[in-house]
A and B are shown apart, each in its own frame.
Chain A
Amino acid sequence: MLKILKYSFFDLIRSRWSYVYLLFYLLLGCVLLFLNNDLSKAIITLMNVIIILVPLIGTIFGVMYYYNSKEFTELLLAQPIKRSSIFIGQYLGVALSLSMSLVIGLGIPFALYGLFQSNEIWDFVLLLVTGTFLTLIFTALAFNIALYNENKIKGFSYSILLWLFMAVIYDGLFLMSLIAFQSYPLDSFSIGATMFNPIDLSRILILLKLDISALLGYTGAVFQKFFGTGFGLFISIGALSLWVILPVYNIYRKCRKKDF
């Protein structure tokens, strides 16, 4: 598995798209810091970019990579290698190279700007951690979609749809259901509903850091407990990990049974 991981990883590292992705983050970080002259404001803007863009890139890249390397995969399948190590290896190759572009691309400008001397370092670390989680989650979901769909066009449209659903539509439905049932107690429901969407989860995680004073304005024991203590952070990170583990397990399960 490690060999395949290494192969995929270096294959991607050498590819043009990784560089473009890395350069994009480098540029974004530089421009934000240059325009804002303020770390905390730049981090807020970055958060908005990351929770939308990282899942999009993750899904598209994952699906694309799977379909592109299909012939090579079939060649590998003819060899005496465990199926799971082929697919998990490929998945990790994509996910890790994407995460690395993100971390390095954003890390360099912020480190140069003097992040290590500022108080915002934990906010920034949290940002990178959620970014990495989102890459892992959405690449895994993309691999799942690709494994279930032989048809490229179908696979691509499903993955775009998945992103659109998680990033926009889910929150719309969420908001509507909250307004529709506003006469009922909704604290537990609303916290539960965020757990089912990794983008919402990452958003909450960063909200905990940035907008805590506004969130505490809401009177509700459940919210108070969730946002006011380390409990929220703990649960969110746990749920994000679950969001990585379950799709990866499904790749493992699916690839063992699949006919090629």
Chain B
Amino acid sequence: MQIMMDKLLKLLYCTLILFSVQGVAQTVEVCNTCEINSLKEAIQMAVAGDTILIKKGTYKEYNIVVDKPLTIKGENYPIIDGEDKGEIIRVTSDHVTIDGLFIINVGTSYTSDHAAIRVVRSEHFLIQNVVLEQLFFGIYIEKSSNGIIYHNKIIGDAQDEYNSGNGIQLWYSKNVLVERNIVQKVRDGIYLEFSDNIIINENTSTNNLRYGLHFMFSNDDLYTNNLFENNGAGVAVMFSKRIKMHHNTFRKNWGSAAFGLLLKEINDAEIKNNVFEENTVGINIEGSNRIVYANNDFISNGYAVKVLGACYANTFEKNNFLYNSFDLSYNSKINDNVFKDNYWSSYTGYDLDRNGIGDVPYRPVKLFSYVVNKTPETIILMRSLFIDIIDFSEKVSPVFTPDNLVDMTPQIKRYE
């Protein structure tokens, strides 16, 4: 009984303290003509739990350190101009909210990664409605967890890979939600390194120099409903486990080393309901095992799927392969992957028993794709009658391509 009472009392105290803190929480206003006319000053003045309201104007500041739980809110997008001198905002406290700022001119450095907003070893941060321009790194989350990055716009002007930074970077961070951001013209749109349980949803990452989205050593992440268009090389997922990729669109990643999606050393992933359209290579797979590819649309790609190196126990089912120059390319004779129930637009079989499944198995790997792998210049002979003839003879009796690589149940109608 006594213990119960103690507990209750403690709870009461806690609520009281919380209320009192909330009670004294104040709003500190910052504007060009106010008494407090810089963000740094305002942070010094404020106590934990306060809100700093920044009025419209230009504030030339950098190396701002937010070391207490504050809400920093901009009214009509005030401009924080770093004048290319270095990092602009560094958050080192839990429970910090940054909302509605327009941050420009982050300093470029070859020795340290200057960011517009950097969160260091903090939890429960919220960064929203922020616009970043002329940046080096955009939002950099370092060893921080349980935060939200929501509805920001990052527009870079990157020219070369070596002197540009990433739009949103997560490093050793867990449980972060990245949602509805727009990232353009930086090196990697969104970059994850050693970051687990991240959710990336409804972002648009376009025109970036390298990848739209890039995973390194990050596990159990989910990305859905994103659009990746016209990036240097699409999306790269490397050395990661249990990544789920659903309902994304990968478009127009053209170029000699461009992919819609690049998988390297990926295990147990799920790739479902995505659209790959007009990429040089839809999915490039290297050393990736136990991945499920289902219900994806591969439309008008150079190669829909290119398999290099050892890839085992992958399943491709219920996908649409529509008008790709090559549906599938393999560089070895061994196949341990399963292809079933796909629709192939280049399938020429028939369906006599009218059950919707073609009566003749389909062989997605053409001899010509094997030849092109060996001698890339031969691509110039594509769609030649001679090539059709050798493809046909290979189809009848496979010599160079894996003979067990067949879709036994090719669909007659495409999936809607």
Contacts and interface: CB of A to CB of B under 8 A. Distances in A.
Interface residues of B, number: 34
Contacts of A207: 382-383
B380 interface: yes
A216 interface: yes
Contact of B280 (A169, A179, A186, A217): A217
Given A213-B278, A216-B280, A220-B376, A47 B257 contact: no
A134 to B, nearest CB: 14
B383 A168 contact: no
Given A40-B323, A211-B325, A172 B386 contact: yes
Interface stretch (B33-41, B76-84, B154-162, B300-308): B300-308
Interface string A187-222: 101110010000010011011000101111111100
Given A40-B323, A211-B325, A213-B278, A168 B381 contact: no
A56 to B, nearest CB: 11
Interface string B148-177: 000000000000000000000000000000
Contacts of B374: 179, 182
B331 interface: no
Given A213-B254, A216-B302, A217-B281, A175 B381 contact: yes
A48 interface: yes
A213 B255 CA distance: 8
B256 interface: yes
A215 B384 contact: no
Contacts of A171: 381, 384-387
A41 interface: yes
A215 B379 contact: yes
Contact residue range for chain A? 35 or more
B44 interface: no
Nearest to B279: A213
B389 A214 contact: no
A219 B376 contact: yes
Contacts of A186: 375, 377
B376 A218 contact: yes
Max count, chain A CB within 10 A of own CB: residue among B301, B377, B381: B377
A213 B385 contact: no
Nearest to B278: A213
B377 A218 contact: yes
B380 to A, nearest CB: 5
- Interface of chain A: mostly helix, strand, loop or mixed: helix
A167 interface: yes
B378 interface: yes
Contact of A217 (B303, B383, B387): B303
A40 B388 CA distance: 20
A189 B254 CA distance: 25
Interface in A32-48: 40-41, 44, 47-48
Given A194-B380, A216-B302, A178 B375 contact: yes
27 contacts: A47-B383, A48-B388, A51-B385, A171-B384, A171-B386, A171-B387, A172-B386, A178-B378, A178-B381, A179-B375, A182-B374, A190-B377, A190-B380, A203-B384, A204-B380, A211-B382, A211-B383, A213-B254, A213-B280, A214-B302, A214-B379, A214-B382, A216-B256, A216-B302, A217-B281, A218-B376, A223-B377
Interface of B: 254-258, 278-281, 300-303, 323, 325-326, 345, 371, 374-389
Given A172-B386, A182-B375, A216-B280, 18 more contacts: A40-B323, A41-B345, A171-B384, A171-B386, A175-B386, A178-B381, A182-B374, A186-B377, A191-B380, A204-B380, A207-B383, A211-B302, A213-B279, A214-B379, A214-B382, A215-B379, A217-B303, A223-B377
5 smallest CB-CB distances across A and B, nearest first, come from A214-B302, A214-B325, A171-B386, A219-B256, A213-B302
